[in-house]
Amino acid sequence: MTRPAYARIDLGALRHNLGRVRQAAPASRVIAVIKANAYGHGLVTVAQALDTADAFGVVGLEEAVSLREAGCDRRIVLLEGLFSSDDIALVCGYRLDPVIHSDHQLELLEQAGLSRPVDVWMKLDTGMHRLGFAPERFEQVLARLRALPRIGTVRYLTHFACADEADPASTEQQIATFRTALDGKPGECSLANSAAVLAWPAAHADWVRPGIMLYGASPTAARSAAELDLKPVMTLCSELIAVAARRKGDAVGYGGDWRCPQDMLVGVAAIGYGDGYPRHAPAGTPVLVNGRRAALAGRVSMDMICIDLHDQPDARVGDEVILWGDALPVDEIAAAAGTIAYELLSGLSQRVSYTCR
Ligand SMILES: *Cc1c(COP(=O)(O)O)cnc(C)c1O
């Protein structure tokens, strides 16, 4: 018997969410961001389900190679570009589009040379101050790129620091800085992550780069996924593997600092931080048992959680437990655990098995 810790992936919901991207940014092409194993949803499965996307964005070269070996013929953008000169042969051999964000990467290209034409994306740092060239270097960097033998099309991108926030000043500034750097020069551009797809039409440009919204989580604390008509793609499930009657005052779990407020049932589900369920989710964090809300009791263990079943006296071993997904937004669990849905989704461990529908 397999241990009951599995992620159900709803491919229909995934396609629905891509439809929401198209609806929000109808004039733009879509780079579906499927880095980090498609935010924990399964790289190749997700790419195959999103076969109407115009391109895919990944970070690991290994991910790009897996996509090509699985038969993916779309444009694949390497969002962090090259890490070493060894990567250049892969970029050429597998027809990948690297982002070029630093002098180090320019030097790698200048030293190694390209064996076939490669399209690249020049990244400008318009205010996030993480990766990218300073905007005033645009002309100089473009000249160096164009001087490379066999360079193909050069496209341009930047990334927003605060597109999910209510205060628009920072994003307005980043858009203006990007436009000023390009100064009307021809060439395709990409600025928008999920938050900007939904909130910043002025940033849609030629290509949008949604990630989190494809998976049905909200890119902004201001609005829920349901309000944005995004459908959860992953439902993380387990089962009750034990149910026991406890007495008022009984301590439950590590530390013994949570006590039963009354005589009641306490259940145990076979999922814990070793599976990617957040250890920081406090007692009281909601779970669904047979579709009804219940709450964590005591601390999250590596392999298990305990569940307060005081109002579910009929619960028994084998009953379904949902940790997030259908009817229990991952954003709500993330907030309870003091993090964001991105971390929960991408942090599932190898131990979780996957089923698709
Ligand atoms: C991860 C990533 C995205 C997607 O961001 P979301 O907030 O998940 O939509 C877009 N662009 C770049 C460069 C990224 O690294």
Mean pLDDT computed over 178-201: 96
pLDDT tens-digit map of 51-69:
999 999 999 999 999 999 9
Ligand 1 site, CB within 6 A:
33, 35, 79, 159, 193-194, 209-212, 219
The share of the chain scoring above pLDDT 70, in percent, equals 100
Q: What is the DSSP letter of 259?
A: B
* Atom 4 of ligand 1, residue of closest alpha carbon: 211
Query: Is 1 a residue whose pLDDT tops 90?
Result: no
Give pTM, 2 decimals.
Answer: 0.97
- From residue 7, how far is each of 82, 225, 265, 348 by CA, in Å? 32, 19, 26, 9
Mean pLDDT computed over 11-40: 98
pLDDT of amino acid 326: 87
The catalytic residues are 35, 254
Where are any strands of DSSP class E within 275-317? 286-289, 292-297, 305-308
Compute the mean pLDDT over every residue in the chain, rounded to the nearest whole number. 97
* Ligand 1: nearest atom to the Cα of 219: 7
Mean pLDDT computed over 27-48: 98
pLDDT of amino acid 329: 98
Query: Is 74 a residue whose pLDDT tops 90?
Result: yes
Closest CA to 230 of 6, 2, 12, 13: 13
* Atom 15 of ligand 1, residue of closest alpha carbon: 79
CA dihedral sign, ordered 97, 103, 105, 110: positive
Residues paired with 220 in a beta bridge: none
- 290 Cα to the center of ligand 1, angstroms: 35
pLDDT tens-digit map of 234-284:
999 999 999 999 999 999 999 999 999 999 999 999 999 999 999 999 999
* Atom 13 of ligand 1, residue of closest alpha carbon: 79
pLDDT tens-digit map of 300-322:
999 999 999 999 999 999 999 99
- 349 Cα to the center of ligand 1, angstroms: 21
* Ligand 1: nearest atom to the Cα of 123: 13
pLDDT tens-digit map of 318-345:
999 999 998 999 999 999 999 999 999 9
Q: Tell me phi and psi for residue 81, to 5 degrees.
A: 70, -145
- 113 Cα to the center of ligand 1, angstroms: 29
Q: Where is average pLDDT lowest: 81-85, 111-115, 170-174, 190-194? A: 111-115
